[in-house]
Amino acid sequence: MTRTRTILGLVAALTTTLSLPALADNPAVNARQAQFTLYSFNVGVLAQMAQGQMDYDAEMAQAAADNLYHLTRHDQSRLWPEGTDNESIAGTRALPAIWDDLEGFAGRYSALQDAAAAMQEAAGTDLASLQGALGGLGGTCQACHQEFRGPAE
């Protein structure tokens, strides 16, 4: 019994020192991933209209762009706690580079906010305006993913 407990204690100590990636059920990680899912949900409808897979509907386009605008105004300060990169925990694609270059990351985020504002101006006007704003918006998603998002697990 004592022996078992000693062994278990040793295993626990080893696991801690080796800092093996643990399965994450981290509320901040869940929240930021949910936020990105909502971005996609709204950008998706705009992209489908832009590509002619769905008829242009000014009201629906405006609603999606409004949603995206407001979603990108969600305060980010609690969504990216240190120690939630993909080398520290499982279940995330956030690269350590985010915390090495917080300013660069914030810059990418503010580019997204600007592009979401431009889309909000354009989406309900007409299809050509929506199409004109989509490239810039998609570019901000892609640029940040390239630099700060790791491969899917």
Stretch of 10-18, 53-61, 101-109, 125-133 contacting ligand HEC, by CB under 6 A: 101-109
Indicate the residue among 2 and 98 with the shorter CB distance to ligand HEC: 98
* CA distance linking residue 33 with residue 66, whole number of Å: 20
* CA distance linking residue 33 with residue 48, whole number of Å: 22
Which parts of 64-93 interact with ligand HEC (CB under 6 A)? 92-93
Give the angle subtended at the CA of 99 by the CAs of 27 and 136, to the nearest 5°.
Answer: 90
Work out which of 64, 124, 134, 140 binds ligand HEC, going by CB under 6 A: 140
139, 114 Cβ separation under 8 angstroms: no
Work out which of 108, 122, 123, 133 binds ligand HEC, going by CB under 6 A: 108
123, 59 Cβ separation under 8 angstroms: no
Residue 29 near ligand HEC by CB under 6 A: yes
Give the x/- contact pattern for ligand HEC in 35-64, rule: CB under 6 A.
-xx-xx--x---------------------
Phi-psi group of 50: left, alpha or beta (phi > 0 → left; psi -120 to 50 → alpha; rest → beta):
alpha
Residue 26 near ligand HEC by CB under 6 A: no
Give the angle subtended at the CA of 62 by the CAs of 58 and 66, to the nearest 5°.
Answer: 175
Minimum Å gap between C-beta 31 and ligand HEC is 10
Q: What is the binding site for ligand HEC (CB under 6 A)?
A: 29, 32-33, 36-37, 39-40, 43, 92-94, 105, 108-109, 112, 140-141, 144-145, 148-149
